[in-house]
Amino acid sequence: MISEKMIGFVKNSSIIRAMFEEGKRLDEIYGAENVYDFSLGNPSVEPPLNIKEALISVLNEEEPNLVHGYMNNSGYIDVREKIALSLNKKFNTNLSHENIVMTVGAAGGLNVILKSLLNPGDEVVTFAPFFGEYRNYVSNYDGILVVVPPNCETFQPNLNEFEKRITGKTKAVIVNSPNNPTGVVYSEDTIRKLAEILNKKQQEYNTSIYLISDEPYRELVYDNTEVPYLTKYYKNTIVVYSYSKSLSLPGERIGYLVIPSETDDYEDLVAAANVATRILGFVNAPSLIQRAVARCLDVQVDVEVYNRNRELLYNSLMSYGYECVKPQGAFYLFVKALEEDDKKFAQAAKKYNILIVPGSSFDCPGYVRIAYCVDYDMIKRSLPGFKNLARDYGRLKD
Amino acid sequence: MISEKMIGFVKNSSIIRAMFEEGKRLDEIYGAENVYDFSLGNPSVEPPLNIKEALISVLNEEEPNLVHGYMNNSGYIDVREKIALSLNKKFNTNLSHENIVMTVGAAGGLNVILKSLLNPGDEVVTFAPFFGEYRNYVSNYDGILVVVPPNCETFQPNLNEFEKRITGKTKAVIVNSPNNPTGVVYSEDTIRKLAEILNKKQQEYNTSIYLISDEPYRELVYDNTEVPYLTKYYKNTIVVYSYSKSLSLPGERIGYLVIPSETDDYEDLVAAANVATRILGFVNAPSLIQRAVARCLDVQVDVEVYNRNRELLYNSLMSYGYECVKPQGAFYLFVKALEEDDKKFAQAAKKYNILIVPGSSFDCPGYVRIAYCVDYDMIKRSLPGFKNLARDYGRLKD
């Protein structure tokens, strides 16, 4: 009796459930400390203590009917203004509260902006490998996701293939840097070229093409890598941000959209985002946590914890003969599978109680994603397993 | 450049914005204390102190990564189990956590269940007058909203007209009791008859018709009125609940769905609701507030405050010659306009700085909604205006 569109999802969700049950089964047989679950992108670092302090201060200092009450669908004006000023300081932008729409995380933000933009049949381009949910978000509004094949040398976007895929129906392009699942940060050079192509195509087709920058991992970067702020390179950029990773608050569902005043149709776009927030049933981003993050705009989790994990896992895997582009951000390694079929390879890893996600889930077969947002000690305990796995595939001779 | 579907919404939202600006303009001319805004359903009673205490206790006592982290898309199992047990105690139901899906308020819950159920062209029946957003929620999934005309004598549902409107395409029926905008509570007799019709039609068409009970106002009732729990009267009932009104937390976006095990296709329906929560971008209901409300299941706002407002406003308006079914719940009076055109009447009320919403917004022209979730003193100050308005229409001779 459920919707036909949902039937496939339900089937798929029972596969995920089966994987989850398999993990629990392994836990029971071998003990949880001997099972190495690298499958989830759930932040392992605790939220900064400032968040707890901010929440309690808001509760003690502000009016309860303000803290827990309705506000504009786009969020509290004072919160949005503080976020705008903080962005201006960091990125030398020129934003005000009128450019910010508070959202239920980045997933909420992506749905709001796609609902605002898409007519049925409109095309949204993205680059493999990509977060699999993009496909569902675009499908929610009867858009068509157009996938640019990966550049597996560097995992920078493949711009030649990109250019070929833009048509008169292209309404938006989604980029995600630092990237899930590769951890790669798109270089300034890449961004400039991407903007050039978009400008050329907008002229060619006489359309507006919105560049949607999904950046929940912006603050999780290593080796002083710079993540370019895309509004400065391309006029029709919309930023989708979330505090899920930078403040380890994924359950709280808090983030925002940046819609700069210079975007085409700016006023309609902001009004549409406001309405979409309402009618999709979000109504507004949760209120208390809006007010709390506004007090923590200069705070972030301790990235060094993830960096230690990265170094240990990357260096160890390299020494065992694995291949991987060293990630500059996020908390994932995207490693070449040691056989052609990534699903079989992920299955083989289970022999050593290692749980990893096949690259096929990100439209990039032949690779696996290893999420290192886990305990450092778990990584250490897992290393003999990774070593034996490499040995099984003849990568390691000793 | 925005979506065609959104263009109408944006136009409409600028009308609402204009109304809001008009309110501010009146505030500036006459002073806020001389403007009587009865247009919003924003709870005026503060959340119970228990909520603040529960939030702080959760922050002090529970693991931060649990409190702010990802959980199952349906919500924390322990929270859902507590809610199920609390419902069992109150309504003698037989629910467990497997029947509860935590949602981003009732608006989120309605979107999740409609996304789960509707194929394009499926029909959803509701009774005028109704919360105008139902139209948008159904349209989000390309369903068709079928409206049963009002029974203006009692504002109980018009069951003869209802029966005529059920077809083989009817997938769901939405009821809302205590009702926005009338404040009427559907009687047990009404519910029994409604269930009888639904059972007959399910047999006739060999379909499943889901009864969606949207009940954010359940706890706001007066004169010891009983609100029947619909799962006990009709097998295919899904309850949509929100803490927005019972705990004055509308900004927090917290509620839940009840999907009883005996509903047709129960397992697929629960799985679909879980997936819909994820792909619509909610991901999960906000986490900290989930854990806090679970500690406050026997708590509610002081309904007596609304009751005093109700008595003052209802008795005063009656004495001035207005007509209205006395509400047994929620915080609205639905009053017959003193001229045929409810929009003109709402406009006329502005002469006395009284802001009210035309019934046309609820598919019930000829009436106006007066939200009495406001300060008692504001109601007192507004009464001369209501009196003069009645006098203008020749209702009052003195």
Q: DSSP character for A360?
A: G
Helix (H, G, I), strand (E, B) or coil at A117: helix
Laid out side by side, the sheet with A170-175 consists of A100-103, A255-258, A237-242, A210-214, A170-175, A123-127, A144-148
Region A347-354: what's the mean pLDDT? 96
- Do both B289 and B143 map to the same domain? yes
Q: What is the CB neighbour count within 10 angstroms for residue A265? A: 15
- Do both A203 and A61 map to the same domain? yes
- Do both A39 and A92 map to the same domain? no
Give chain A positions within 8 Å (CB) of B47. 64-65, 68
The predicted-structure confidence for B155-178, as pLDDT tens digits, reads as follows 999 999 999 999 999 999 999 999
Res B18 pLDDT > 80:
no
Res B13 pLDDT > 90:
no
Looking at the structure of chain A, the number of domains it has is 2
Q: Answer yes or no: is B9 within a domain.
A: yes
In this complex, the residue of A55, A271, A289 whose CB is nearest that of residue B10 is: A271
The predicted-structure confidence for B273-289, as pLDDT tens digits, reads as follows 999 999 999 999 999 99
Whether the CA torsion B379, B380, B384, B386 is positive or negative: it is positive
Res A8 pLDDT > 70:
yes
- Do both B334 and B269 map to the same domain? no
In this complex, the residue of A136, A249, A264 whose CB is nearest that of residue B1 is: A264
Which residues are registered as beta bridge partners of B258? B100, B239
Instruction: Give the CATH number of the domain where residue A322 resides.
Output: 3.90.1150.10
Q: Among B293, B317, B347, where does a domain finish?
A: B293
CA distances B25 to A220, B297, B346, Å, are: 46, 42, 17
Q: Can you tell me the distance from the alpha carbon of A95 to that of A231, in angstroms, rounded to the nearest whole number? A: 11
Closest-CA residue of B relative to A267 is B10
Q: Among B293, B312, B346, where does a domain finish?
A: B293
Mapping DSSP onto H, E and C, the string for chain B reads CCCHHHHHHHHHHHHHHHHHHHHHHHHHHHCHHHCEECCCCCCCCCCCHHHHHHHHHHHHHCCHHHHCCCCCCCCCHHHHHHHHHHHHHHHCCCCCHHHEEEECHHHHHHHHHHHHHCCCCCEEEEECCCCCHHHHHHHHCCCEEEEECCCCCCCCCCHHHHHHHCCCCEEEEEECCCCCCCCCCCCHHHHHHHHHHHHHHHHHHCCCCEEEEECCCCCCECCCCCCCCHHHCCCCEEEEEECCCCCCCHHHCCEEEECCCCCCCHHHHHHHHHHHHHHCCCCCCCHHHHHHHCCCCCCCCCHHHHHHHHHHHHHHHHHCCCCECCCCECCEEEEECCCCCHHHHHHHHHHHCEECEEHHHHCCCCEEEEECCCCHHHHHHHHHHHHHHHHHCCCCCC
- Do both A89 and A182 map to the same domain? yes
Structure token pair of residue B48: 């119970």
Q: How confident is the model at residue A268 (pLDDT cuts 50, 70, 90)?
A: very high
The predicted-structure confidence for A183-208, as pLDDT tens digits, reads as follows 999 999 999 999 999 999 999 999 99
- Do both A215 and A281 map to the same domain? yes
Per the CB < 8 Å rule, is B70 touching A1? no
- Do both B217 and B329 map to the same domain? no
Q: Residue A18 has what pLDDT?
A: 77
- Do both B144 and B199 map to the same domain? yes
Q: Answer yes or no: is B397 within a domain.
A: no
Region B108-132: what's the mean pLDDT? 98
CA distances B380 to B10, B98, B222, B249, Å, are: 36, 48, 21, 26
Q: Answer yes or no: is B289 within a domain.
A: yes
Q: Specify the higher pLDDT residue, B397 or B307.
A: B307
Q: Which secondary structure element, helix H or strand E, spans residue A16, and what is its range?
A: helix A4-30
The predicted-structure confidence for B23-37, as pLDDT tens digits, reads as follows 888 888 999 899 999
Instruction: Give the CATH number of the domain where residue A57 resides.
Output: 3.40.640.10
Region A19-23: what's the mean pLDDT? 78
Q: Can you tell me the distance from the alpha carbon of A282 to that of A112, in angstroms, rounded to the nearest whole number? A: 9
Structure token pair of residue B366: 């000829």
The predicted-structure confidence for A325-337, as pLDDT tens digits, reads as follows 999 999 999 999 9
The predicted-structure confidence for A202-238, as pLDDT tens digits, reads as follows 999 999 999 999 999 999 999 999 999 999 999 999 9
The alpha-carbon radius of gyration of chain B (Å, integer) is 21
Per the CB < 8 Å rule, is A251 touching B67? yes
- Domain, as residue range, for B377: 4-47+302-392
- Do both B135 and B200 map to the same domain? yes
Whether A282 has its CB under 8 Å from any CB of chain B: the answer is yes
Whether A284 has its CB under 8 Å from any CB of chain B: the answer is yes
Average pLDDT of chain A, as a whole number: 96
CA angle A302, A305, A306 (to 5 degrees): 105
The predicted-structure confidence for B184-230, as pLDDT tens digits, reads as follows 999 999 999 999 999 999 999 999 999 999 999 999 999 999 999 99
The predicted-structure confidence for A71-129, as pLDDT tens digits, reads as follows 999 999 999 999 999 999 999 999 999 999 999 999 999 999 999 999 999 999 999 99
Q: Answer yes or no: is A92 within a domain.
A: yes
Q: How confident is the model at residue B40 (pLDDT cuts 50, 70, 90)?
A: confident
Q: Can you tell me the distance from the alpha carbon of B86 to that of B298, in angstroms, rounded to the nearest whole number? A: 8
Whether B77 has its CB under 8 Å from any CB of chain A: the answer is no
Judge if ipTM > 0.90: yes
Res A15 pLDDT > 90:
no
- Do both B206 and B263 map to the same domain? yes
User: Measured between CA atoms, how close is A253 to chain B, in angstroms?
Assistant: 6
Q: Residue B25 has what pLDDT?
A: 87
Q: How confident is the model at residue A278 (pLDDT cuts 50, 70, 90)?
A: very high
Average pLDDT of chain B, as a whole number: 96
Q: Can you tell me the distance from the alpha carbon of B279 to that of A277, in angstroms, rounded to the nearest whole number? A: 15
Q: Find tokens 């675009």 and name the residue.
A: A138
Res A377 pLDDT > 90:
yes
Region A339-355: what's the mean pLDDT? 96
Q: Among B245, B273, B293, where does a domain finish?
A: B293
Q: Residue A89 has what pLDDT?
A: 98
Structure token pair of residue B332: 């609205």
- Do both B365 and B221 map to the same domain? no
Nearest CA to A45 out of A326, A375, A380, A377 is that of A375
The answer to whether the CB of A178 falls within 8 A of the CB of A221 is yes
- A135-168 as b/e, with b when 16 or more CB fall inside 10 Å? bbbbbbbebbbbbbebbbeebbbbbeebbebbee
CA distances B239 to A12, B37, B41, B178, B215, Å, are: 26, 31, 21, 13, 7
Whether B367 has its CB under 8 Å from any CB of chain A: the answer is no
Q: Say which amino acid occupies B130.
A: F
Q: Answer yes or no: is A102 within a domain.
A: yes
Beta strands in A245-388 (DSSP E): 255-258, 332-336, 354-355, 357-358, 367-371
The answer to whether the CB of A101 falls within 8 A of the CB of A74 is yes
Structure token pair of residue B174: 């939405």
Q: Residue B398 has what pLDDT?
A: 65
Q: Answer yes or no: is A67 within a domain.
A: yes
Tell which B residues from 49 to 68 touch A, by Cβ distance under 8 Å: 51-52, 55-56, 59, 64-65, 67-68
Q: Answer yes or no: is A397 within a domain.
A: no
What percent of chain B has a predicted confidence (pLDDT) above 70? 99
Q: Answer yes or no: is B398 within a domain.
A: no
Helix (H, G, I), strand (E, B) or coil at A47: coil
Whether A138 has its CB under 8 Å from any CB of chain B: the answer is no
Q: How confident is the model at residue A398 (pLDDT cuts 50, 70, 90)?
A: low
The answer to whether the CB of B354 falls within 8 A of the CB of B389 is yes
- Do both B29 and B57 map to the same domain? no
Give chain B positions within 8 Å (CB) of A253. 104, 282-287
In this complex, the residue of A4, A13, A104 whose CB is nearest that of residue B281 is: A104
Give chain A positions within 8 Å (CB) of B273. none
